[in-house]
């Protein structure tokens, strides 16, 4: 009985600490955790990149459907050149991801993030070499691919980027620079490539990776809201708790991140709990 309750205690410990990391919008990194006590480098780089890729999937789908898809119906505009002074629009999904990626690059976390394809709109997003080769496998089975890029000395993971919403397909098929016009819902349109220099991470480093991604989302979303605040000729949506599906509104960065958090926490928790089992914390 004692054994069982201590195991449960540890499980709750993991659940609790992961809630802390998932609840923090960036700043609060738990210092002491049970997981850290078990092993200094508790996570393999693959596991951490898998967790941050889940977060990215949720963020990207929510942004594409909830902001771009619903926002367009309300008259909001999204544009490749959204950051140019004369353009009064928000970032396209791919540029939102690029914003997150450059925010991560400015942080102290050595995490790289790119979005590529075999039939890109932007030729510079075309996969080459090893990544091109592995992307063929991803298209076949949609399974993540991992390899060590010895030229860059970086552990690399690639995850399918799926046509999860109608705007993905419509915009790509109709785009003036597209290299493919028959994308369908459910297609593997590309892959996100993630890179990290070491093969294992401490609990704190793993939390750092997730927080860097989440801060990147916050920065990029806030850059969009700042763009709106500076609109001169276009109407400005109300910014608050209401989403564009309910009218001419946009959620604040906090409301947006909060939804991402709710949608990811169960999946990330599953990974952490599995981790607990594999290091012998839970049997």
Of the candidates 262, 206, 273, 265, the one whose C-alpha atom is nearest the C-alpha of residue 12 is: 273
Kindly tell me which residue out of 80, 149, 227, 258 binds ligand HEC, with binding defined by CB under 6 A: 80
Contact between 115 and ligand HEC by CB under 6 A: the answer reads: yes
Kindly tell me which residue out of 155, 172, 218, 275 binds ligand HEC, with binding defined by CB under 6 A: 172
Contact between 144 and ligand HEC by CB under 6 A: the answer reads: no
Contact between 125 and ligand HEC by CB under 6 A: the answer reads: yes
Contact between 275 and ligand HEC by CB under 6 A: the answer reads: no
**What does the alpha-carbon distance between residue 133 and residue 148 come to, in Å, rounded to a whole number?**
14
Of the candidates 156, 138, 137, 164, the one whose C-alpha atom is nearest the C-alpha of residue 48 is: 156
Kindly tell me which residue out of 71, 144, 190, 251 binds ligand HEC, with binding defined by CB under 6 A: 190
Q: Which stretch binds ligand HEC (CB under 6 A): 165-173, 235-243, 246-254, 258-266?
A: 165-173
Contact between 168 and ligand HEC by CB under 6 A: the answer reads: yes
Q: What is the dihedral of CA 216, 217, 218, 222, to 10 degrees?
A: 100
How many residues lie near ligand HEC (CB under 6 A)?
A: 28
CB 223 within 8 A of CB 22: no
Q: Minimum Å distance from CB 117 to ligand HEC?
A: 4
Burial 117-156 (b: 16+ CB within 10 A, else e): bbebbeeebbbeebbeebbeebeeeeebbeeeeeeeebbb
Kindly tell me which residue out of 36, 42, 67, 165 binds ligand HEC, with binding defined by CB under 6 A: 165
Which residue has 């400005």 as its token pair?
Answer: 236
**What does the alpha-carbon distance between residue 102 and residue 119 come to, in Å, rounded to a whole number?**
23
Structure tokens at 258: 């909060």
Residue 39 or residue 170: which is nearer to ligand HEC going by CB? 170
Q: Which stretch binds ligand HEC (CB under 6 A): 89-97, 196-204, 226-234, 264-272?
A: 89-97
**Phi/psi at 228 (5° precision):** -60, -45
Kindly tell me which residue out of 66, 71, 91, 120 binds ligand HEC, with binding defined by CB under 6 A: 120
Residue 126 or residue 204: which is nearer to ligand HEC going by CB? 126
Q: Which DSSP symbol is given to 126?
A: B
Residues interacting with ligand HEC, by CB under 6 A? 60, 64, 68, 78, 80, 92-95, 115-117, 120-122, 125, 161-165, 167-168, 171-172, 175, 189-190
């Amino acid at each position: 009985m004692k054994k069982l309750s201590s195991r449960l205690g540890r499980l709750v410990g993991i659940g609790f600490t992961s809630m802390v990391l998932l609840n923090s919008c960036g700043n609060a990194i738990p210092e002491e955790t049970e997981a850290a006590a078990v092993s200094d480098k508790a996570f393999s780089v693959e596991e951490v990149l898998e967790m941050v890729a889940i977060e990215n999937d949720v963020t990207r789908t929510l942004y594409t459907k909830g902001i771009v898809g619903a926002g367009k119906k309300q008259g909001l505009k999204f544009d490749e050149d959204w950051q140019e002074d004369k353009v009064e629009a928000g970032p396209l999904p791919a540029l939102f991801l690029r914003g997150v990626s450059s925010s991560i690059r400015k942080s102290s976390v050595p995490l790289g993030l790119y979005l590529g394809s075999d039939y890109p709109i932007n030729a510079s997003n075309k996969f080459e070499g090893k990544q091109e080769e592995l992307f063929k496998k991803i298209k076949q089975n949609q399974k993540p691919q991992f390899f060590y890029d010895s030229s860059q000395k970086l552990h690399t993971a690639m995850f399918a980027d799926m046509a999860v919403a109608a705007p993905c397909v419509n915009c790509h098929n109709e785009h003036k620079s597209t290299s493919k016009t028959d994308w369908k819902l459910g297609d593997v349109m590309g892959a996100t490539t993630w890179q990290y220099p070491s093969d294992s991470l401490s609990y704190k480093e793993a939390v750092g990776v997730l927080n860097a991604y989440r801060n990147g989302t916050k920065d990029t979303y806030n850059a969009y809201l700042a763009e709106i605040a500076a609109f001169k000729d276009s109407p400005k949506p109300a910014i608050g708790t209401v989403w564009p599906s309910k009218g001419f509104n946009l959620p604040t960065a906090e409301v947006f991140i909060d939804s991402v958090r709710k949608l990811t926490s169960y999946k990330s928790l599953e990974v952490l709990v599995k981790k607990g089992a594999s290091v012998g914390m839970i049997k």
